[in-house]
Chains A and B, each alone.
Chain A
Amino acid sequence: MACFSLTLQKLVCFGFLFLAWLGLSACGPAEPKTDAPAPDMRRLTEDQYRNIIADVFGTQITVSGRFDPLVRTEGLLAVAAWNTSVSSTGIMQYEEIAQSIATQVLSKENRETYALCSGVSYTAFDESCARKFLAKVGRVLLRRPLTKDELTARITIARDSANTLGKFYAGLSFGLISLLVDPEFLFITDFTESDPARSNAIRLTAFSKAARLSFLLWNTTPDDKLLRAAESGELHSRDGLNREVNRLMASTRLKTGLRAFISDMLNFDEFDSLEKDSIIYPAFGAAVVRDAREQTLRTITDHLVTRNGDYRDLFTTKKTFMSRPLGMVYRVRVKAPDNVWESYEFAPDDPRIGIQGHLSFLALNAHPGRSSPTLRGKGIRSMLLCQKIPDPPADVDFSGFNNPESLGKTARERLLAHATNSACIGCHRIMDPIGLALENYDGAGQFRGVENDAEINSSGELDGIAFSDSTGLGQALHDNPAIPTCLVNRLYAYASGRTFTAKSDWLTYLNKVFADGGYRVTDLLKRIATSTTFYAVSSPHNLDQTFESASNIIHFD
């Protein structure tokens, strides 16, 4: 009995140790320490600006005007936003947009809804109403409650304007305009405070944390619940942060956030200037351009969010969505009526496969009147594999390639010229063999078996993996180790504005998390959103960025 008792004890101890080991294993590898960047600020993108206005005032408010463009940096517009200011013309444009928004919000039709005041004189200035309105919208627009002084200043602007114009709401609109052109609205700024957990260290304020989280997951300003979590200090606790991350990720708005990232990563801003030769591709009209973009975004969010699928399967999937305009270009039956999307799956023997087989990729990475194996190969290298391709030499001669009668019937034959030109071969041999696998799709993405009556050879090669057609390319992309690592690189750069070298511990950690989790993007997002690194900041040299004391904060319920 004594022996049995001893054996039982050993078993119990072993069991506890085993359970502890399981628990620790389930948590995954520990987050490595990284050098935290200095606090920074980034300009709102146009999409973010529009999303905020829609969230605060509703979709019936039209945002019309021009925004200063962003120049893509390190493959992303989001990274450029961290390194971009506003031109003087840009400020004027923001002011014009703000005036238009304010006029609509405080128009006769809308003012009662937004101002939440009733029985207000249209001429005499009503300070109570003005205070209520400006504090409410100011909290959401600036992503934190206004201080006493800030609110007083806005009320003064509104009062002075109302007294001059003799109209209360006209004056109130100037108070709103002052918020819409405030740098703290136009720029998402990292505000910091002393970190009570570490001496001589700073941390992001809860409001700045909320902003980072909200723009990552929803691509818009923090909602009321998230602002309350910030106000109460919950976001500084692990449980509080996890709770809000889970809430945001459970929302359908997660797809909006992911769409913004995917659009940036795949250069979908180029759709704004996409044009095809209407004589060569008569079906490729405005409706097709609109729907081609939407098709890929729907396919990706459906796969990554709804189905929580493996990211790599995006390059081999046959599942997508189809609309009537797209059906004409893909030459497939669409049962759904106009302006309605239906699920669609390409037949097993259909050569079209993966998002690289969508019109969005094929048409964006082609010329107005013909296909381009080079552009498509470059697109895959730069957007999906995060590899930089140098620009062509300034004195390159395209005439041979552009004249289809001079060198060959198919693009493959015409591109042979690059193989013999020492100035060209270095870059083209890493682009063309990929793009040639997609030559069965013309400049609009329509399938073709021949070009100039010559049968198309769609064999190719990617990093030593040869394939005979676009199906093989899809599988080669799926299996290429750079596909998931590039996604990790881009996603974190999008989230933080920071880029890392491939050897950084932080990227290595994220890549391992991604791989161990079966390449689930939602899991990766969650890991980033709940990480310490994502919110880490370090003291900049000789700068003091402490936040206003709590006694100056106005609360509005």
Chain B
Amino acid sequence: MSVLNFQHMSTKTFLRTFAFASIFFLSSPMEVTSAEKMTLGFVITNWSTAMYETLFMDECSGGPTPGNYEIWEASVTPEVRRSYPVLLFSQLRHINNRGRNGLNVCDHPTSFDDPSLEIIEGKYAYGANLDGNKHGRATSTSCEHKNFTGLNGEEGIDNQMYRLMGCVEAWKSYGHIENNANSHRLSSGLGMILIEVTDVENERNDESVSVSFFRGIGSYNLDSTGNPLPYASYGIDHENGRARYGDTVMGKIVNGVLTTKSADVHLPFFGNYQYMNQLFRDMQLELELSDDGEPMTGLITGYYGVDQFYSYVRGMLSTFPNRHKFSCPAIYVAAHQLADGHPDPETGECTTLSSAFNIQAISAFINHPDYD
């Protein structure tokens, strides 16, 4: 008897057959027509510490913080001051060596008691609620600190980096440090950060995408005014077939805004004559996507290591603290005092600063090497 001859099939047999068929078909993967998945590529063209600035620097109640030269000038007699008619390099170096027993104050920031750093006392800041609370009290993963209010009214914004450097004019939007670093990157191509978004089904709304960060190699493609051009192709830095960077995090796109989940991410850095391998703890990215090659703006938030940051400050040219008005000892002391994340398990001291960085990016093609 044919199993398919239902007319002569007993009810029991029919039910068994039907059950078997049901199990088979229901457990088979459903045939889904999936949209073709896209890959989006971007290159970061501008990176700066996110600074909320008012016209008259109301956020710094004591005004801008004094720099190395002002501190030295206030500590010497007029006669000594007059013996330095012009700030020559040799004289500036001498001013740097004002620490105990002639130590360089940037290399030995505790060798001289500089006046305290002027820090941000304002209410508002860019950033994100990194520690997940609005009270700012110490927790098992954070140290006590004041929270900011975001420009959209959101409470609990953590941005101790801004509190630390917000009154240092060199770091402001019109200052030398960030502008010089961006200029270095654009002209050399060093420290280029590529962002690759894969598994994208819809560029406006997609619940789940993968976001990878690479270091780009080669030069930026610039127009006649020095602005980077979109849709250039960049290779990624790799060694023996393995990307030197390449951390991947999960993200989503909502109404054209790409955001990523909190994760530790390594990013390259070049600026002010220094290379760094940066580690961002609990990093999140927010990037407002645009079409047609227009520049995109975004925010990177996360915890930035105190030592990592101070090594950058310390590594600047010896003329910088004088010409661009900052004090290494003051920054060193304040950074350790203001650190609010990742307490050292032994000492309990926080080792990272909550931070936020403004970024600009444009569309790019990212070439992976053909691995053998």
Contacts and interface: CB of A to CB of B under 8 A. Distances in A.
A328 B41 CA distance: 13
B232 A328 contact: yes
A324 B233 contact: yes
B45 to A, nearest CB: 13
A324 B224 contact: no
Contact of B221 (A328, A332, A333): A328
A338 B232 CA distance: 11
A278 interface: yes
Majority secondary structure of chain B interface residues (helix, strand, loop or mixed): loop
B116 to A, nearest CB: 47
Contact of A282 (B227, B232, B235, B365): B227
A285 interface: yes
A283 B231 CA distance: 10
B91 to A, nearest CB: 44
Nearest to B219: A338
Could you say which interface size class chain A belongs to? 10 to 19
Contacts of B227: 282
A328 B365 CA distance: 9
B86 to A, nearest CB: 41
Contact of A324 (B225, B232, B293): B232
Majority secondary structure of chain A interface residues (helix, strand, loop or mixed): loop
Contacts of B221: 283, 324-325, 328
B223 A333 contact: no
Contacts, number: 44
B229 interface: yes
A331 interface: yes
A334 interface: yes
A335 interface: yes
Interface of A: 278, 282-283, 285, 324-325, 327-329, 331-335, 337-338
A327 B365 contact: yes
Contacts of A325: 221
Contact of B231 (A278, A327, A335, A338): A327
B224 A334 contact: no
B365 A334 contact: yes
A330 to B, nearest CB: 8
Interface in B356-372: 365, 367
13 contacts: A283-B221, A283-B230, A325-B221, A327-B233, A328-B221, A328-B229, A328-B232, A329-B231, A331-B293, A334-B233, A334-B367, A335-B233, A337-B218
A285 B229 CA distance: 11
A282 B223 contact: yes
Contact of A328 (B225, B231, B367): B231
A14 to B, nearest CB: 61
Contacts of A329: 231
Contact of A278 (B225, B365, B367): B225
B221 to A, nearest CB: 6
B223 A278 contact: yes
A455 to B, nearest CB: 15
A335 B368 CA distance: 9
A324 B232 CA distance: 7
B230 A328 contact: yes
Nearest to B233: A334
Most chain-B CB neighbours within 10 Å: which of A282, A285, A334, A337?
Answer: A282
Contact of A285 (B224, B235, B293): B224
Contact of B367 (A282, A331, A335): A335
A332 B221 CA distance: 15
B158 to A, nearest CB: 38
Nearest to A448: B292
Nearest to B367: A335
Nearest to A338: B218
Given A278-B223, A325-B221, A283 B229 contact: yes
A454 to B, nearest CB: 15
A446 to B, nearest CB: 9
Interface in B202-235: 218, 221, 223-225, 227, 229-233, 235
Given A285-B223, A334-B365, 6 more contacts: A278-B224, A278-B225, A282-B224, A327-B365, A333-B365, A338-B218
Top 8 A-B pairs, shortest CB-CB distance: A282-B223, A333-B365, A334-B233, A331-B231, A328-B231, A278-B224, A283-B229, A328-B232
A324 B225 CA distance: 19
A283 B293 CA distance: 11
A283 B233 CA distance: 13
Most chain-B CB neighbours within 10 Å: which of A285, A329, A333?
Answer: A333
B365 A283 contact: no
B225 A333 contact: no
A335 B218 CA distance: 12
B88 to A, nearest CB: 41
Contacts of B232: 324, 327-328
Contacts of A337: 218, 235
A542 to B, nearest CB: 60
A334 B225 CA distance: 24
Nearest to B370: A335
Contacts of A331: 231, 293
Given A324-B232, A327-B233, A328-B231, A333 B224 contact: no
Contacts of B367: 333-335
A334 B233 CA distance: 6
Nearest to A286: B224
Given A333-B367, A335-B367, A282 B218 contact: no
A324 B365 CA distance: 11
A334 B218 CA distance: 13
